[in-house]
């Protein structure tokens, strides 16, 4: 079955988090939600075990499944932990140490002990070959094919598993890289050409991105092959789709060839799910808060569009491909609390993860976590755990939080409140980074909270930032998994130019746009999407002449011509004024690159989940919200909150995938799509 036909019918979304693996089955009757413990030692094993369990329980009928969309941190973890394929770099004579030199700027300017991340490719595996292309794309020195061929015995002896090829100015003249790639193909290992992956300028960023892609190919390739082979054995689709960092779904074969595009796979799925929920509930401007077990991801959605960037870095390594503009901090339900040398309370970034997990999970953990603090304060109920646990251990949580309380001479409840206060402060700073510090008034946005822990903190954060409304989807705990089958299928292509905008002939620009559209469209049509279903979005990277950074500006679909150029310049000046507070309309504008995104929209689906019958629940529960002591909070099952239902805080909304907390003085109502809209007060 081709990719496009798999956009309709029953779909499964699978998202691997640090603590839980979330599975959503999306079909008739609304999505069905499931959580399973993650298996960090072998993520594929946990995913396949979860699917096998659901099949055995009759929750999934393999023959009815049309497609599986996947979001994974495997690529990110491999990069952060350095567990990459042994990779060689072949580059232009004289540019062997580009990765080592990097740029002169330092992330921590006043840190006397700062050390750069080690280059992914060590010095002994970086090789130079004679060739040279000029800054105008002309050939200064032809490629020495024999020099490339002489590398083959050395590369074989070194046992390399992948090769990256990055020549100077190859984005303007890719022939040398392609010729070298043909010779290196004799090695029988994956070869990544920078001119295919990222045909844009900035030598260091392009080399870094190309090397990361090459080093990830053996890791991600074997992982996806393992998943797809296991899926086939279970009678499920043997070809999976994978979320890209840009927020669009790619075919598994594309992810294996260009794994650098899936580094933010999991978080991007969450933001896409949040965008879809917000649009259906009538909110185009959102701050998304994804708090899971290990980390917290925040992002901005404006006018229904997710903010994107092409200047990101993962673990200190530049990645110059489009990705959702997500800010991540180490604050999750499993974040560890501790006292530093000055007896100040710290929370995160270290996490208890899935094994052993928070102390209350009863798996051997003894250190206090954010989840333990919530349990101590009565925000979580021991008999309603997530992820298949039998129950939460309140005594173990109190003992763990006591490790903070006892040295400070305070009560366990006061220590738990302090843990939540510190965690909230960290998340507040993260939200300010993507909103206030970029010229956006947070009060104009709604805060959409998801992840297993997000709805527990959302109202408190909204009050700290004066955000008026909080949205909690009915699928909050598994929204990243739900966002996967809801996302559009897409592919993006680009071309660097670096020329004054008005010096580029309009015919050349029109031809370039046509070529990029054909390339982007061809990638998804090759997997079965009908050509007539493909839509295009085009952006130009522009800057004032002499600037070091550029802004991405949407390009009008109208015919390229003088009016088109003038409109593009005007849009750039306006965007520059909005971002930096000033513009220079009289200055020359430079065209740095052009990007085309081809997409196919999936079929709309009902987002109201089919909740299982809820077990009995007490009417109220004693919970702490401040140091004045416990109050009686109303308890309600999420399954009992039908559209139109209203609820007033203090209240605890218990769901199978997440628990939402309504502070005293707040009130909420459920809209037609099942989303709980809370007036933060």
* Among candidate residues 66, 355, 444, the one with its CA nearest the CA of residue 237: 66
Q: Give 491's DSSP letter.
A: E
Q: Which two tokens stand for residue 68?
A: 């599986």
pLDDT digits (tens, 9 = 90+) for 433-468: 989 888 889 999 999 999 889 999 999 999 999 999
Which pLDDT does position 8 carry in this prediction? 47
Which pLDDT does position 555 carry in this prediction? 86
pLDDT digits (tens, 9 = 90+) for 133-144: 999 999 999 999
- Dihedrals phi, psi of 234, to nearest 5 degrees: -85, 0
> Within 112-236, where are the H helices?
145-149, 151-158, 175-184, 194-197, 203-233
Residues 51 and 13 sit within 8 Å (Cβ to Cβ) = no
pLDDT, mean over the chain: 90
Which pLDDT does position 437 carry in this prediction? 86
Is the pLDDT at 6 greater than 60, yes or no? no
pLDDT digits (tens, 9 = 90+) for 324-348: 989 888 888 888 999 988 889 999 8
What is the spatial distance between Cα 307 and Cα 190, in angstroms, rounded to a whole number?
32
493, β-bridge pairs: 596
pLDDT digits (tens, 9 = 90+) for 530-574: 888 899 999 999 999 989 889 989 887 777 888 889 999 999 999
Give residue 387's pLDDT band: very low, low, confident or very high (50, 70, 90): low
Which pLDDT does position 472 carry in this prediction? 96
Residues 657 and 453 sit within 8 Å (Cβ to Cβ) = no
As a whole-number percent, the residues of the chain with pLDDT over 90 amount to 65
* Among candidate residues 34, 39, 35, the one with its CA nearest the CA of residue 18: 39
CATH label, 5-78+220-269, candidates 3.30.420.40, 3.30.9.10, 3.30.1510.10, 3.10.690.10: 3.30.420.40
Q: Which two tokens stand for residue 283?
A: 């909110």
Is the pLDDT at 275 greater than 80, yes or no? yes
Stated as kind and residue range, the H or E segment containing 672 is none
DSSP string for 562-622:
HHHHHHHHHHHHHHHHHHHS---TTS-EEEEEEEEEEEEPPPP---S--PPPPPP--SEEE
Name 297's Cβ contacts closer than 8 Å, sequence gap at least 6.
267, 270, 271, 288, 289, 290, 326, 327, 328
What is the spatial distance between Cα 401 and Cα 380, in angstroms, rounded to a whole number?
15
Is the pLDDT at 3 greater than 80, yes or no? no
Is the pLDDT at 2 greater than 70, yes or no? no
Q: Are strands 126-129 and 335-339 parallel, antiparallel or unpaired?
A: unpaired
What is the spatial distance between Cα 238 and Cα 415, in angstroms, rounded to a whole number?
50
Is there a shared CATH topology between the 5-78+220-269 domain and the 85-215 domain?
no
**Within 10 Å of residue 463's Cβ, how many Cβ atoms?**
16
C-alpha neighbours within 13 Å on the C-beta side of residue 415:
29
Q: Give 59's DSSP letter.
A: S
Residues 263 and 245 sit within 8 Å (Cβ to Cβ) = yes
Is the pLDDT at 633 greater than 90, yes or no? yes
- Dihedrals phi, psi of 549, to nearest 5 degrees: -135, 155
Which pLDDT does position 9 carry in this prediction? 57
What is the spatial distance between Cα 287 and Cα 383, in angstroms, rounded to a whole number?
32
Mean pLDDT, residues 268-290: 93
- Dihedrals phi, psi of 540, to nearest 5 degrees: -115, 135
pLDDT digits (tens, 9 = 90+) for 78-98: 888 888 999 999 999 999 999
What is the spatial distance between Cα 248 and Cα 268, in angstroms, rounded to a whole number?
8
CATH architecture, domain 85-215: 3-Layer(aba) Sandwich (3.40)
Mean pLDDT, residues 382-390: 76
As a whole-number percent, the residues of the chain with pLDDT over 70 amount to 98
pLDDT digits (tens, 9 = 90+) for 562-604: 888 999 999 999 999 988 889 999 899 999 999 999 998 877 7
DSSP string for 203-264:
HHHHHHHHHHHHHHHHHHHHHHHHHHHHHHHTTS-SS-EEE-TTS-EEEHHHHHH-GGGGTT
* Among candidate residues 247, 227, 272, the one with its CA nearest the CA of residue 48: 227
Domain extents in the chain: 5-78+220-269, 85-215, 335-422, 490-600, 611-672
Mean pLDDT, residues 484-509: 92
pLDDT digits (tens, 9 = 90+) for 231-254: 999 999 988 999 999 999 999 999
Residues 435 and 287 sit within 8 Å (Cβ to Cβ) = yes
Name 134's Cβ contacts closer than 8 Å, sequence gap at least 6.
140, 169
What is the spatial distance between Cα 384 and Cα 247, in angstroms, rounded to a whole number?
33
Which pLDDT does position 5 carry in this prediction? 39
Which pLDDT does position 1 carry in this prediction? 34
What is the spatial distance between Cα 330 and Cα 292, in angstroms, rounded to a whole number?
10
């Amino acid at each position: 079955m081709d990719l496009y036909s798999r956009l309709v019918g029953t779909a499964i979304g699978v998202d691997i988090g640090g603590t839980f693996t979330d599975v959503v089955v999306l079909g008739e009757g609304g999505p069905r939600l499931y959580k399973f413990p993650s298996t960090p030692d072998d993520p594929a094993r946990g995913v396949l075990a979860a699917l096998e369990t659901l099949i055995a329980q009759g929750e999934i009928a393999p023959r009815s499944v049309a497609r599986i969309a996947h979001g994974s941190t495997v690529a990110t973890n491999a990069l952060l932990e350095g567990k990459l394929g042994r990779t060689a770099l072949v580059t232009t004579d004289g540019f062997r140490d580009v990765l080592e030199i990097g740029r002169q700027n330092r992330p921590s300017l006043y840190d006397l002990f700062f050390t750069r991340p080690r280059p992914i490719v060590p010095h002994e595996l970086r090789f130079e070959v004679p060739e040279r292309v000029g800054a105008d794309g002309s050939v200064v020195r032809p490629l020495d094919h024999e020099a490339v061929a002489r590398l083959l015995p050395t590369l074989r002896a070194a046992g390399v598993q992948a090769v990256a090829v990055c020549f100077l100015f190859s984005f303007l003249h890719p022939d040398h890289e392609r010729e070298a790639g043909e010779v290196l193909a004799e090695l029988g290992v994956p070869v990544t050409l920078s001119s295919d992956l990222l045909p844009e300028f900035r030598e260091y960023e392009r080399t870094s991105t190309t090397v990361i892609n090459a080093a990830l190919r053996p890791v991600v390739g074997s992982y996806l092959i393992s998943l797809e082979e296991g899926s086939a054995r279970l009678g499920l689709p043997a070809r999976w789709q994978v979320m890209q960092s840009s927020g669009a779904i790619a075919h598994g074969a594309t992810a294996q060839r260009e794994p650098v595009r899936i580094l933010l796979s999991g978080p991007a799925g969450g933001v896409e799910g949040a965008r879809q929920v917000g649009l259906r509930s009538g909110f185009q401007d959102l701050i998304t808060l994804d708090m899971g077990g290990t980390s917290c991801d925040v992002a901005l959605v404006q006018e229904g569009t997710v903010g994107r960037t092409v200047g990101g870095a993962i673990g200190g390594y530049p990645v110059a491909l489009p990705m959702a503009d997500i800010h991540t901090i180490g604050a999750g339900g499993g974040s560890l609390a501790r006292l530093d040398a000055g007896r100040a309370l710290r929370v995160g970034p270290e996490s208890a993860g899935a094994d052993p997990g928070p102390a209350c999970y009863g798996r051997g953990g003894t250190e206090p976590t954010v989840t333990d603090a919530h349990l101590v304060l009565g925000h979580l109920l021991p008999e309603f755990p997530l992820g298949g646990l039998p129950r939460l251990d309140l005594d173990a949580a109190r003992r763990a939080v006591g490790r903070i309380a006892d040295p400070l001479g305070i009560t366990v409840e006061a220590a738990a409140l302090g843990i939540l206060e510190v965690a909230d402060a960290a998340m507040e700073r993260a939200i300010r980074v993507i909103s206030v510090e970029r010229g956006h008034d947070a009060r104009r946005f709604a805060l959409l909270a998801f992840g297993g822990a997000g709805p527990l903190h959302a109202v408190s954060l909204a009050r700290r930032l004066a955000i008026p409304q909080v949205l909690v989807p009915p699928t909050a705990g598994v929204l990243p998994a739900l966002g996967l089958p809801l996302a559009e299928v897409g592919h993006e292509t680009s071309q660097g130019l670096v020329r004054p905008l008005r010096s580029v002939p309009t015919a050349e620009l029109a031809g370039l746009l046509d070529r990029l559209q054909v390339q982007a469209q061809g990638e998804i049509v090759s997997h079965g999407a009908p050509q007539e279903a493909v839509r295009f979005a085009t952006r130009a990277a522009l800057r004032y002449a002499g600037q070091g950074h550029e802004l991405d500006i949407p390009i009008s679909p109208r015919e390229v011509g003088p009016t088109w150029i003038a409109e593009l310049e005007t849009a750039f000046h306006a965007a520059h004024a909005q971002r930096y507070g000033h513009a220079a309309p009289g200055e020359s504008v430079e065209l740095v690159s052009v990007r085309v995104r081809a997409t196919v929209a999936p079929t709309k689906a009902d987002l109201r989940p089919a909740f299982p019958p809820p077990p009995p629940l007490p009417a109220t529960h004693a919970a702490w919200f401040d140091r004045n002591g416990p109050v009686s909070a109303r308890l309600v099952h999420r399954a009992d909150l039908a559209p139109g239902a209203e609820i007033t805080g203090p209240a605890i909304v218990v769901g199978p995938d997440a628990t939402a907390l309504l502070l005293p003085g707040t009130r909420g109502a459920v809209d037609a799509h099942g989303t709980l809209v809370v007036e933060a007060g």
